[in-house]
Amino acid sequence: MIALATAARELILTENKNVLLLSILNDRTYATPKFVRHLEKELLVAEPLIVKNAVTGISAVQQWIVKGINLWHMCKLHPFNSAGDALDFLVS
């Protein structure tokens, strides 16, 4: 997941255009402290180009982690219970 976060940041910066991001995770996805710290750094670098950022497929505990990241870094990361809800948010 760390490599994917880095690749996403590189693609965003290379394209240098505003983006809508959707992250779809599953029950085998774990937000380890190392990953969360890495994600924080990647989001800060790419944040000026991120218009909307949605994540789905995370547990209630992971949603609380996302809320903490949002409060600490003033990010635009929005958790959703379904991919459909996340897509509706992104295109609204």
Per-residue model confidence as pLDDT tens for the chain (92 residues):
889 889 999 999 999 999 998 888 877 777 788 887 888 888 888 989 999 999 998 888 888 888 887 887 766 789 998 999 999 999 99
- Domains of the chain, residue spans: 2-91
DSSP SS3 for 81: coil
pTM of the model: 0.79
Structure tokens at 62: 């992971």
Q: For residues 46 and 24, give the distance between their C-alpha atoms in angstroms, rounded to a whole number.
A: 19
DSSP SS3 for 92: coil
Alpha helices in the chain (DSSP H): 2-15, 33-46, 60-73, 83-91
- Quick one: DSSP state of residue 57? S
- Residues contacting residue 78 through CB under 8 Å, at least 6 positions apart: 52, 53, 54, 55, 86, 89
